[in-house]
Amino acid sequence: MDHEDLSRSLPPLSPLSQYINSSTLSVPIIMVIELDSPIEKSKMIEFLRDVFVPINDRFSSIIVTDKKGVQRWKKVEITIEDHIFFPTFPSSGQTLEDYDALLDTYVSKVAMETTSEGGRRPPWEVHAFTYPTSNAKGTIVFKLSHAIGDGYSLMSALFNIYKRADDPSLPVTMPSVVPRPIGGGGSSRWSRIRSFVSMCVNTVTDSALSLLQATLLEDDKTVIRSGKVGVEFEPISISSVTFTLDQIRQVQDKVGGTTVNEVMTGVISYAIQLYIQRTGKVSNGATRMTALVVVNARMLRGFKTIADMLKAHIWGNHFSLLHVALPSTSSDQDLNNVDPLEFIIKAKDELRRKRNSMALYFTSRIWNIISSLKGPEVAAGYVHAIFKNTSISISSLIGPSQKIVIADHPINSFYYTVAGIPQSLIFTIVSYMGKLKVVVRTEREFIDAQVFVSCLKDALEKISDAADDHGKDGKVEFH
């Protein structure tokens, strides 16, 4: 087949999908599903073949590159058995804690391995850990190339194939939340003008910051950022902590008007400061630390609810990045004398200022301009540099409100993370059945994951205690 026939017959990957599926930046998504019942191998294979693969052609397609360097999807025949793995471990003399450790090691190993065998099969695989752990009677680990789609693409797929555990005939529902619109301003003419001017200023400054962060501007090396070249290839640890949405709502009710993501960004900011203090490696001066907050760009298309967005089947990668400055702590500052709620307020102000900006649009436009002028590999290097030069990333997903079933296996909990990102510390957050699971992916030999998780727990506890002294009302919202 010549180049012209190839172009006509095979759909191309989106520009963003090509950037994160390149020799410079290759990002897999890891989704871990903890089950309430032991895994039945035959049911899992049947589910993947008859339910999962038919969701979208990308699950039965490989990625090929044409003569112009454009990556395209090519549909192929697949064998399900080539995509599912059943690891074996000693089955006698092992405690649940032993299997916890084995699973953690296995998931970290799977995350760091190359997805697919040289492009000879579609870039996804499933690992069925059939041994009981402290949290599950069996665990399913999905590993998918980010080129297939972002978290909301996958959630959209699962949203349509999951069944409710209480009544399979009823639809799975999401929390009743409304996305916060970008922009704002009052109803008066002067308020609208002021809001427009503010948005223009923010757009220029935020777009310039994105350019600088990929070229000249780099965060300081700290106890959460090694700055090591090739850090994305270093061994990782994956830990998690679970909060209830009621805990988050208590903070919202007292602080007033904050979203769940604003609260969690504040909690993470505070936890970082606690971790810095506990390691004893506090800077003598102000330290530059920046978080990349992953924003679902579908929210900019007028959807009124998360469920509407999921039902629209907008596949692919539709996200952008907000550069959020994290508070710094100097050696002469005592965290015991700092009001923990300041971290929530600063996160709220910073995120809302960033949302009142068109930089979300222009950032992706800049990436595409670079790609059109110099090729997708150069654009991938630009995106890689943005991650490399910042300290952390934070992304979040909203999961179902009810308990759900996959392949007739009830799901106790699930979470996700990513690999291949050149950062020492990455946070992913997902809600499910009234709980919020925060996953901490760390550079194993650099960050003490156990200490950091304890800092996260302490951060929310201290913030909750401080919130008891405030009496403003708020409501739960997701951006």
Name the DSSP letter for residue 326: P
Query: Greater confidence, 143 or 155?
Result: 143
324: CB partners within 8 A, 6+ apart:
265, 290, 291, 292, 293, 347, 350, 351, 354
Model pLDDT for residues 41-84, shown as the tens digit of each residue: 999 999 999 999 998 888 999 999 888 788 999 999 999 999 99
Q: Is residue 253 over pLDDT 60?
A: yes
Query: Greater confidence, 422 or 189?
Result: 422
Looking at mean pLDDT, say which of 272-281, 336-345, 360-369, 437-446 comes out highest: 437-446
- The mean-pLDDT minimum among 142-146, 150-154, 218-222, 437-441 falls in 150-154
- The answer to whether 179 and 299 are in contact (CB under 8 A) is yes
Model pLDDT for residues 440-462, shown as the tens digit of each residue: 999 999 999 999 999 999 999 99
Give residue 115's pLDDT: 64
Query: Greater confidence, 121 or 92?
Result: 121
Q: Is residue 470 over pLDDT 90?
A: no
Give residue 309's pLDDT: 58
Q: What does the pLDDT average to over 218-224?
A: 93
Give residue 375's pLDDT: 87
Q: Name 330's bridge partners.
A: 283
Containing 295, the helix (H) or strand (E) segment is strand 290-296
Q: Is residue 140 over pLDDT 90?
A: yes
- The answer to whether 275 and 455 are in contact (CB under 8 A) is yes
| pTM tops 0.75 | yes
The CATH code of domain 3-164 reads: 3.30.559.10
Give residue 53's pLDDT: 92
Give residue 42's pLDDT: 93
Instruction: In the chain, list all ranges with CATH 3.30.559.10.
Output: 3-164
- The answer to whether 272 and 325 are in contact (CB under 8 A) is no
Give residue 283's pLDDT: 66
Give residue 187's pLDDT: 59
Q: How far is Cα 475 from Cα 291, in angstroms, rounded to an integer? A: 25
Confidence category of residue 479, pLDDT binned at 50, 70, 90: very low
Give residue 310's pLDDT: 56
Looking at mean pLDDT, say which of 7-11, 404-408, 452-456 comes out highest: 452-456
- The mean-pLDDT minimum among 86-90, 339-343, 359-363 falls in 359-363
User: What whole-number percentage of the chain has pLDDT above 90?
Assistant: 47
Give residue 299's pLDDT: 62
Q: How far is Cα 171 from Cα 410, in angstroms, rounded to an integer? A: 16
Query: Greater confidence, 177 or 426?
Result: 426
Q: What does the pLDDT average to over 254-269?
A: 87
422: CB partners within 8 A, 6+ apart:
230, 231, 232, 384, 387, 388
Q: Compute CA 295 distance to the chain's CA centroid, rounded to the nearest angstrom.
A: 9
Q: Name 430's bridge partners.
A: 397, 437
Fold exhibited by the domain 189-404+419-467? Chloramphenicol Acetyltransferase (3.30.559)
Give residue 408's pLDDT: 87
Mean pLDDT of the chain: 85
Model pLDDT for residues 284-294, shown as the tens digit of each residue: 666 889 999 99
Q: How far is Cα 120 from Cα 82, in angstroms, rounded to an integer? A: 11
Q: Where are the beta strands (DSSP E) in 378-463?
A: 392-398, 404-406, 409-418, 425-432, 435-443
Name the DSSP letter for residue 58: G
Query: Greater confidence, 357 or 408?
Result: 408
Give residue 190's pLDDT: 78
Q: How far is Cα 387 from Cα 210, in angstroms, rounded to an integer? A: 11
Query: Greater confidence, 177 or 214?
Result: 214
392-398, strands of its sheet edge to edge: 236-244, 435-443, 425-432, 392-398, 290-296, 319-325
Give residue 307's pLDDT: 57
Give residue 157's pLDDT: 74
Give residue 274's pLDDT: 94
Query: Greater confidence, 450 or 200?
Result: 450
Instruction: In the chain, list all ranges with CATH 3.30.559.30.
Output: 189-404+419-467
Q: What does the pLDDT average to over 173-196?
A: 64
Q: How far is Cα 432 from Cα 427, in angstroms, rounded to an integer? A: 17
Confidence category of residue 203, pLDDT binned at 50, 70, 90: confident
20: CB partners within 8 A, 6+ apart:
26, 27, 146, 147, 317, 380, 383, 420
Query: Greater confidence, 197 or 474?
Result: 197
Confidence category of residue 311, pLDDT binned at 50, 70, 90: low
User: What whole-number percentage of the chain has pLDDT above 70?
Assistant: 86
Give residue 286's pLDDT: 65
